[in-house]
Structure 1
Amino acid sequence: MSTQFPTPRADAPLVVFDFDHTLYDGDSGSHLFKWLLDRAWWRQLLAILVTPIAGPMVAWLRTRRAGISVFVWIGTVGLHRRRDLDALIDGYVEANAAAIRSHLLPTALDVLHKHREAGDCVVVATGAPPELARAILAFVAQQDVPVVGSLVGPKFGALGAIRHCHHAMKMTMLREAGYTQPVAIAYSDSSADLPLLQAARNPVVVNPKAKRVAMFRRVLPPGTPILNWGCPGRAGDPAT
């Protein structure tokens, strides 16, 4: 059962969490789509065949979305409704609960929990399908947190992102979802979330790549915390 938290007041501070590498150690979408590919040998074969082209695209920031879309298409070809993918996501989370739980960062969940206990308006904003973060937090972490994420719909006989909750679009989608108050605190690991971090009165960088630390110190206000919430291989000061 989820813990009962106070209902946020209308004037409660808005606190926004990224999901991957912030609450979850790793890329939750990649883990899901690998599972989708592994459902059938022919999906695995198609993925192997396109990897020489799509793989380098994923590694390059400017073409990453297109490269990921190729693998998403292979993993979902034959699906035509978002609720079909949502059902698969729920099955994936239930079948892999122990492994998924090991990726959730206890320090991060504790911070999220404390914000909710304080009555803050807490929302997760992620580039992954919202049902994925929602299912992980509800089923594995017993946290019924509102989630704003990438919109998925029919695309070329499969499913794909028709609106990616990424970079400046993340702020747009938060506002469209009704979170119109100023962002009090934002937590993220990613330079792609600079529009969110810069919009927050109190940005907090968590689990960044080491090569991004200098950039964050340069573009965010002096004294911005840069923390590590127990994410191996990532930078940041140990959380207390």
Structure 2
Amino acid sequence: MSVKGRQYPKTRDGAPLVVFDFDHTLYDGDSGSHLFAWLIRRSWWRRLLSLPMLPVFLPLVAFLPTRRFGVSAFVWAGTVGFHRLKELDKLIDRYVATHAEEIRRRLLPIGIEALHRHRAAGDRVVVATGAPPELARAILAFVAHEDVPVVGTDVGPRLGGLGARRHCHNEMKMTMLREAGFRDEVAIAYSDSSADLPLLRAARKPVVVNPKPSRIAMFRRVLPAGTPILNWGCRKRGGDAVSPASAG
């Protein structure tokens, strides 16, 4: 397979399954928040609608048990008036096309190089993200020129707009990966987030990348001794710095 000059071999039978998180792993920041902030800012009435929601729903996003409810509220504010997922997908494609340079600056070259190396080795690579799958898919295709499978948060109709029906994180990420056909043992998993502990623990080789400094001790405590804890270029995150030459 060739992608913008890159030659990838066909995935071989029995190839290792390699799972990448997206936000703070391949992308510096929260891609879904950036998208929905843009959706809300598109019109004055959406901005007014979201203002009274901020003190109620924004704190919910910070905590794992309530994150889905907080995320869903802002997805709804950005999409109220939509009735089909295809409408959101079209806006996602427009957002990525019109913000390509900004998004390109946020992509982490070391992470993209690691993804490239796994694909070049013939590994079975999938991105599993809490963002809508079309967002990560569009960013990787339009900006990074990578066409990998993406499993992400399931968005559907809700109260006159769209909302997250199943948030692809924590145990649900493993469930959604299996439902998408990725049932083999995970050989390597890359993630920054404690919400991905089920994925990291399931992997033969977990790799923590760009963690919050306050979470490093927890990762060292609950993951196998010697688990790499790396920084792939997120300045405000922790981990051991690595060079592009050692990615993957």
**TM-score range for the pair, normalised by the shorter chain length:** over 0.9
Where do 5+ consecutive residues of structure 1 fail to align?
A: none
Aligned counterpart for 2:186 among listed residues 173, 180, 183: 183
Aligned counterpart for 1:194 among listed residues 177, 197, 212: 197
Counterpart Cα distance in 1 of 2:127 and 2:58: 28
Contact 2:71–2:164 under 8 Å retained in 1: no
The one-letter code of the counterpart of 2:32 is G
The one-letter code of the counterpart of 1:234 is R
TM-score (norm 2): 0.94
The residue that corresponds to 1:85 in the other structure is 88
Aligned counterpart for 2:155 among listed residues 135, 152, 159: 152
Where do 5+ consecutive residues of structure 2 fail to align?
A: 244-248
Contact 2:73–2:163 under 8 Å retained in 1: no
What is the percentage of aligned positions where both structures have the same residue? 69
Counterpart Cα distance in 2 of 1:110 and 1:7: 18
The alpha-carbon deviation at position 61 of structure 1 amounts to 3.5
Query: What SS does the aligned partner of 2:22 have?
Result: coil
Cα deviation, 1:21-43, whole Å, max 9, x if unaligned, reads: 00000000000000000110000
The residue that corresponds to 1:169 in the other structure is 172
The residue that corresponds to 2:67 in the other structure is 64
- 57-66 or 3-12, which moves further after superposition? 57-66
The residue that corresponds to 1:127 in the other structure is 130
Counterpart Cα distance in 2 of 1:59 and 1:109: 27
The one-letter code of the counterpart of 2:80 is V
Counterpart Cα distance in 2 of 1:171 and 1:234: 25
Aligned counterpart for 2:8 among listed residues 5, 11, 17: 5
Please tell me the root mean square deviation across aligned C-alpha atoms, in Å.
Answer: 1.0
Cα deviation, 1:188-233, whole Å, max 9, x if unaligned, reads: 0000000000000000000000110011001100000000000111
TM-score (norm 1): 0.97
Counterpart Cα distance in 1 of 2:176 and 2:62: 26
Counterpart Cα distance in 2 of 1:199 and 1:234: 24
The one-letter code of the counterpart of 2:57 is A
The one-letter code of the counterpart of 1:118 is A
Query: What SS does the aligned partner of 2:238 have?
Result: coil
Counterpart Cα distance in 1 of 2:201 and 2:153: 21
Number of aligned residue pairs: 240
Query: What SS does the aligned partner of 1:8 have?
Result: coil
Counterpart Cα distance in 1 of 2:218 and 2:55: 31
Q: Does 1:226 align with 2:232?
A: no
Aligned counterpart for 1:137 among listed residues 135, 140, 150: 140
Counterpart Cα distance in 1 of 2:235 and 2:225: 26
The residue that corresponds to 2:36 in the other structure is 33
Contact 2:68–2:164 under 8 Å retained in 1: no
The one-letter code of the counterpart of 1:88 is L
Cα deviation, 1:118-158, whole Å, max 9, x if unaligned, reads: 00000000011000000000000000011011111111110
Counterpart Cα distance in 1 of 2:21 and 2:134: 14
